[in-house]
Amino acid sequence: MRHVPAPNPAADAAEATAAFTALLTDEGRALLDGLRDHDPAQELATATRLRREHPAALVSAALGQARLRQRAVAKFGAQDAYRMFFTPNGVEQSTRASVATYRARRFEALGVRRVADLCCGIGGDAIALARAGIFVLAVDRDPLTCEVARANAEALGLSDLIEVRCADVTEVDTSGYDAVFVDPARRGGRGRIFDPEAYSPPLSWAIEAARTAPRAALKIAPGVPHEAVPDDAEAEWISDGGDVKEAVLWFGTTPGARRATLLPSGASLVGRGLPDPAVRPVGRYLYEPDGAVIRAHLVAEVAAELGEGGLVDETIAYVTSDELRPTDYAAAYEITDVLPFNLKRLKAIVRERGIGVAVIKKRGSAVEPEELRRKLKLAGPNSCVIVLTRVAGAPAMLLGRPAGA
């Protein structure tokens, strides 16, 4: 029987750290620079060629890092991503640069000059804070992650503003800092963790740590139940390009406030405690609130912006109005047809109107957009928006176009 060696996490960690350190040498950096635009589909041929000139372990580490940099471009942009270093978890869990920059500017506006960044990961938030002129103590308990964070601070010329410390965040004294930022790990060996008390560190510990500082921000999952938000915290949901990225609990700002912030515009909607809008018949325009607005339970605030805006259904976050009004917080569509859902009728309409391109949206419907798209067999020069939803409790299909198109 073939002998399988027992796992040795300490040895594996030391090997990974040594492989990463080799990338910081002149040879490693030159190798990485040459792999900037390499094609992953040609990786085997590339590896074979490079191993004639470089140690196999270094080539393997460089190819792995090159893949991570290519993935990181979506979060950090090409200019930073190809100078930075990453781990697989770091690419997956790090904050998008646009979100980190927004949060750093908010810290700066609050007068914060020194931040303890607990669970700093590869340093994405620390970089944004330092670029805002804030000194950062960046803490993580994983030695390799700390080496990567330190290398990133150096690569971006921020070493004077970022001190990286390898330690258990629960044992770090933050009393000398204006603010604390905590980004607990929300993924484990089996994937995403949904129980906040299973975060590392637990959310309850992070909240207590936040309460000891003059200002604090805790990054949490955007699906956090509102009842889990402490009374003394402001809860902010942030979207970027229409996708909800995260929620943040702020301490030392406005207790009990609910906020939705939309990037890249920076538009920020604060709740006023308005009651849910009334249900009304579908008007000429349909408004689809941004996901951050919906998560923050601020649909009523958007409806108030629209004058006589109301809901199409008491359980659906679509707002309708007879009037087109500009709003930063919702996409507007001009509705041409309001019909009970009927696949045969919908097929006939798109055929008669020569619809070849359709944007299919759903909310409160069991129909899957891609399955519907296949069944419609779209063909023709025209386009439309198809909204599958409920109107006053009944399945409905709304047809229209982007407002102003």
pLDDT tens digits, residue range 117-149? 999 999 999 999 999 999 999 999 999 999 999
Instruction: Name the 3-class secondary structure at 166.
Output: strand
Q: Is the peptide bond before 395 cis (omega within 30 degrees of 0)?
A: no
User: Is a pLDDT exceeding 70 seen at residue 13?
Assistant: no
CA 77 to chain centre: 15
285 in Cβ contact with 335 (< 8 Å): yes
Q: Measuring CA to CA, which residue among 169, 93, 99 is closest to residue 127?
A: 99
CB-CB contact of 379 with 356 (8 Å): yes
Q: What is the mean pLDDT of residues 333-344?
A: 96
Q: What is the pLDDT of residue 165?
A: 97
- The residue length of the chain stands at 405
pLDDT band at residue 12 under the 50/70/90 scheme: low
Q: What is the pLDDT of residues 195-211, one digit of tens each?
A: 777 677 888 899 999 99
Specify which residues 180 forms β-bridges with.
Answer: 116, 216
> Residue 177 has which token pair?
């800092």
Query: Any idea what DSSP says for residue 169?
Result: G
Q: What is the mean pLDDT of residues 61-90?
A: 94
9 has pLDDT over 60: no
Which residues are registered as beta bridge partners of 152?
none
| Contact indicator for 248, 103 with CB cutoff of 8 Å | yes
**pLDDT attached to residue 16:** 76
pLDDT at 405: 59
Please, what is the average pLDDT of the chain?
A: 92
Least confident window among 9-18, 27-36, 329-338, 390-399: 9-18
Label residue 120 exposed, middle or buried (CB < 10 Å: 0-12, 13-18, 19+).
buried
Confidence of residue 1 (pLDDT cuts 50, 70, 90): very low
Residue 138: how many other CB atoms lie within 10 Å: 30
For the cut 80, the answer to whether the pLDDT of residue 8 exceeds it is no
Task: List the beta bridge partners of residue 94.
Answer: none
* CATH 3.40.50.150 applies to domain 92-269: yes
- Note whether 249 and 218 are within 8 A (CB): yes
- Looking at the predicted structure, is the pLDDT value of residue 10 above 70? no
Report, as an integer, the average pLDDT of 246-267: 96
Cβ neighbour number for residue 48 with a 10 Å cutoff: 10
Q: Please, is 191 exposed, middle or buried when counting C-beta atoms within 10 Å of its C-beta (0-12, 13-18, 19+)? A: exposed
Q: Is the predicted pLDDT of residue 186 greater than 80, yes or no?
A: no
- What's the confidence (pLDDT) of residue 201? 83
Q: Is the pLDDT of residue 2 over 60?
A: no
Give tens-digit pLDDT for 51-69: 998 999 999 999 999 999 9
User: Nearest Cα to 387, choosing from 328, 312, 325, 280?
Assistant: 312
Which DSSP category does 180 fall into?
Answer: E
pLDDT of residue 184: 87
Per-residue pLDDT, averaged over 255-271, amounts to 97
Q: What three-state secondary structure class fits 87? A: coil
Distance between CA atoms of residues 58 and 19, nearest Å: 7
Distance CA 16, CA 65 (A): 12
Given this model, what pLDDT does residue 26 score? 92
- Three-state secondary structure call for residue 119: coil
Domain positions in the chain: 9-76, 92-269, 285-402
Contact between 389 and 396 under an 8 Å Cβ cutoff? The reply is yes
Determine the Cα–Cα distance for residues 282 and 243; give it in Å rounded to an integer.
26
Which of 10-14, 287-291, 306-310, 350-354 shows the lowest per-residue confidence on average (mean pLDDT)?
Answer: 10-14
| Measured distance CA(98)–CA(83) in Å, rounded | 17
pLDDT of residue 74: 94
In percent, the amount of the chain with pLDDT more than 70 equals: 94
Q: Is the pLDDT of residue 47 over 70?
A: yes
Residue with tokens 């087109």: 324
Alpha-carbon gap, residue 141 to 200, rounded angstroms: 11
Partnered with residue 355 across adjacent β-strands are: 382
